[in-house]
């Protein structure tokens, strides 16, 4: 069959950030494109991830702002919080964003299908809604991922994941969260600041594995001081429902915690179940994620996969970047590999983390000698408010080339700073470039360009005074 005899030039399975971007861009090139989504357009990010999470983060920050206001002369009257109002407002905003996603798709000329779609062969896709089989020259799998359900845990059926956390009928009085990654840490902070008694149970030595150790430690201390009970090197062994409907979380340490809700935040699993990958010759890895080459191409020559379903970096901007590279490679004749190097990222905890590049430990392993510039200080906003919370700013520099190879911030607006630090570190700027950049005063970010002498060095793994 030649390209024109297929029903479509491109069939996209999955209407999340990656799938929608690829469909829109390809349709705009005049190609015949269809996109199938069984649930809602926008995917994890818009419907049950980044966007609703950030709205909940904003909601949760007010409790601290009300307290801080006093030092600035304000008398804040009686306060009350309505979880149901927050959730209703959040849902309205998500509806609005979903509409925009659909409208943009419609404008692009892509055919929008509301159905689950599965592979029947390398060029054949079955639309489950009607049972009809359509054909496409190229197929893009962008089905995303879902919260790992932890089937080995007795009582897992009693637990919620982030999906349900966005739709709880009422705010729990107490919650136990399993996990020490992005979602566990962000939700622990959201719930605590909304007044929920919060316990985080993490199997490792320190939360947020993979982030700079300094930030992990400082964030742990800050969260614990605010009241999150953090239980490292412990595990959830069983969840039992009590007669009153509440739960007992049984831990490996032997402790039993009472809670209104138990939440699992232990990573995400690729959505490849019953997708027909074997019928189409698409190879999966041991975790069920689609295996792709450097150009997002699967083991079937005409089928590609992007986003969370490939288990590389499960981040929205990465999925969108992969979509752009896919269209360049496949429809514009410009073979383009997605670039996974130096991806900035943020954890929307209280305080926030913003980071890009090598951690101190990674850089110490990679380079003969590194310089670490580190400043820990009380941000100005915390002076009159009396808030006893410090900020940490850290630059990791390769001593030989002077290049800043890692930048890490813990504190207010760290996520916003990470975006700009991402440009500097990605561009390979040197510490001297940072030094000759004028400070913006008075800001917390000015510390990034005013740390003139290293706090310490690490030469061949040995920590030395500067
Ligand atoms: P993460 O991979 O960040 O963290 C998973 C956590 O669960 C880790 O602490 C891991 O421990 C622990 N874990 C895994 N399996 C088990 C188990 N069987 N028992 C106990 N603990 C376990 O995943 P999340 O679910 O937090 O988030 C999913 C992805 O979504 C993230 O990787 C991130 O890419 C993305 N995300 C990004 C956000 C952002 O950009 N701000 C926000 C939220 C999500 P260990 O460390 O020991 O492996």
Establish whether 441 is a catalytic residue.
yes
Place of tokens 């030649």: 2
The preferred substitution site among 156, 183, 419 for testing ligand 1, maximizing ligand atoms within 8 Å of CB, is 183
Write out the two tokens for 448.
């990034």
Rounded Cα gap, residues 46 and 23, in angstroms = 17
- Are 357 and 396 a contacting pair, CB within 8 Å? yes
- Are 447 and 456 a contacting pair, CB within 8 Å? no
Q: Which regions in the chain score pLDDT beneath 70? A: 1-4
Cα(181) to centroid(ligand 1), Å: 4
- Predicted TM-score (pTM) of this structure: 0.97
| Per-residue confidence (pLDDT) for residue 221, from 0 to 100 | 98
- Are 435 and 415 a contacting pair, CB within 8 Å? no
**H or E segment and range at residue 396:** strand 391-398
- Please give the number of the atom of ligand 1 that sits closest to the Cα of 210: 46
- Are 391 and 379 a contacting pair, CB within 8 Å? yes
- Are 194 and 174 a contacting pair, CB within 8 Å? no
Collapsed DSSP state (helix, strand, coil) of residue 360? helix
Q: Give the architecture (CATH level 2) of 345-461.
A: 2-Layer Sandwich (3.30)
C-alpha to C-alpha distances, 207 to 81, 210, 230, nearest whole angstrom: 29, 9, 9
The preferred substitution site among 267, 269, 307, 349 for testing ligand 1, maximizing ligand atoms within 8 Å of CB, is 267
Per DSSP, 448 falls in state: G
Write out the two tokens for 181.
């990654």
**What CATH class has 3-146+269-331?**
alpha beta
Rounded Cα gap, residues 229 and 238, in angstroms = 19
HSE-CB of 200 using CA atoms within 13 angstroms? 30
The two domains 3-146+269-331 and 156-266 share their CATH topology (first three levels equal): yes
Q: Give the architecture (CATH level 2) of 156-266.
A: 3-Layer(bba) Sandwich (3.50)
Rounded Cα gap, residues 359 and 345, in angstroms = 13
Nearest CA to ligand 1 atom 32: 314
| Per-residue confidence (pLDDT) for residue 466, from 0 to 100 | 81
Strand partners, 465: 456
- Residue 140 sits at the vertex; the CA angle it makes with 139 and 141, to the nearest 5 degrees, is 120
Place of tokens 């981040």: 315
Nearest CA to ligand 1 atom 30: 314
Cα(184) to centroid(ligand 1), Å: 7
- Please give the number of the atom of ligand 1 that sits closest to the Cα of 415: 41
Rounded Cα gap, residues 424 and 422, in angstroms = 6
Question: Tell me: the pLDDT tens digits for 157-213?
Answer: 999 999 999 999 999 999 999 999 999 999 999 999 999 999 999 999 999 999 999
- Residue 407 sits at the vertex; the CA angle it makes with 419 and 447, to the nearest 5 degrees, is 90
Rounded Cα gap, residues 208 and 185, in angstroms = 8
Place of tokens 């005013």: 450
Give the count of beta carbons closer than 10 Å to the beta carbon of residue 109: 16
The preferred substitution site among 203, 249, 322 for testing ligand 1, maximizing ligand atoms within 8 Å of CB, is 203
Cα(137) to centroid(ligand 1), Å: 36
Question: Tell me: the pLDDT tens digits for 95-141?
Answer: 999 999 999 999 999 999 999 999 999 999 999 999 999 999 999 99
- Please give the number of the atom of ligand 1 that sits closest to the Cα of 347: 41
Cα(179) to centroid(ligand 1), Å: 6
| Per-residue confidence (pLDDT) for residue 4, from 0 to 100 | 67
Cα(354) to centroid(ligand 1), Å: 17
Nearest CA to ligand 1 atom 17: 266
Cα(324) to centroid(ligand 1), Å: 26
Residues ≥6 apart with Cβ < 8 Å to 384: 71, 72
Break the chain into its structural domains and give their ranges.
Answer: 3-146+269-331, 156-266, 345-461
Nearest CA to ligand 1 atom 35: 314
Nearest to 262 by CA among 197, 204, 205: 197
> Which protein residues touch ligand 1 with a CB less than 6 Å away?
150, 178-184, 186, 202-204, 209, 235, 265-268, 314-315, 345-348
Per DSSP, 273 falls in state: T
């Amino acid at each position: 069959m030649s390209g024109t005899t297929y029903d479509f030039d491109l069939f996209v399975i999955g209407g999340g950030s990656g799938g929608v971007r690829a469909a829109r861009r390809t349709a705009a090139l005049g190609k015949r494109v269809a996109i199938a989504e069984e649930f809602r357009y926008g995917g994890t990010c818009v419907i049950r991830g980044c966007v609703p999470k950030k709205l909940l983060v904003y909601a949760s920050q007010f409790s601290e702002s009300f307290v801080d206001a006093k030092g600035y002369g304000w008398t804040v009257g009686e306060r009350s919080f309505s979880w149901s109002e927050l959730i209703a407002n959040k849902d309205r905003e998500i509806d609005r964003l979903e509409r925009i996603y659909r409208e943009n798709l419609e404008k692009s000329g892509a055919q929008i299908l509301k159905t689950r779609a599965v592979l029947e062969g390398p060029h054949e896709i079955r639309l489950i809604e009607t049972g009809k089989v359509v054909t496409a020259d190229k197929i893009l799998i962008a089905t995303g991922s879902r919260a790992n359900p932890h089937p080995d845990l007795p009582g897992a059926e009693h637990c919620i994941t982030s999906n349900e956390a966005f739709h709880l009928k009422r705010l729990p009085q107490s919650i136990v969260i399993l996990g020490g990654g992005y979602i566990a840490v962000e939700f622990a902070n959201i719930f605590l600041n909304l007044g929920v008694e919060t316990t985080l149970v993490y199997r490792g030595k320190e939360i947020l594995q993979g982030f700079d150790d300094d930030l992990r430690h400082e964030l742990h201390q800050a969260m614990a001081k605010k009241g999150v009970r953090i239980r490292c090197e412990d595990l959830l062994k069983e969840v039992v429902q009590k007669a009153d409907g509440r739960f007992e979380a049984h831990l490996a340490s032997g402790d039993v915690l009472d809670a209104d809700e138990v939440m699992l935040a232990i990573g995400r699993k690729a959505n490849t179940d019953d997708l027909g990958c074997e019928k189409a010759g698409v190879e999966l890895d041991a975790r069920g994620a689609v295996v792709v080459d450097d150009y997002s191409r699967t083991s079937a020559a005409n089928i590609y996969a992007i986003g969370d379903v490939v288990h590389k970096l499960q981040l929205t901007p990465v999925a969108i970047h992969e979509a752009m590279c896919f269209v360049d490679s496949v429809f514009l004749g410009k073979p383009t590999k997605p670039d996974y190097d130096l991806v900035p990222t943020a954890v929307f905890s209280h305080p926030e983390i913003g980071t890009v590049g090598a951690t101190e430990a990674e850089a110490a392993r990679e380079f003969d000698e590194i310089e670490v510039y580190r400043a820990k200080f009380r941000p100005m906003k915390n002076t009159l408010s009396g808030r006893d919370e410090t900020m940490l700013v850290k630059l990791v520099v390769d001593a030989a080339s002077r290049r800043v190879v890692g930048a890490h911030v813990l504190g207010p607006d760290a996520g916003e700073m990470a975006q700009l630090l991402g440009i500097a570190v990605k561009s390979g700027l040197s510490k001297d470039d940072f030094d000759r950049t004028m400070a913006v005063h008075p800001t917390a970010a000015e510390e990034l360009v005013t740390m003139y002498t290293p706090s310490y060095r690490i030469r061949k793994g040995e920590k030395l005074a500067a």
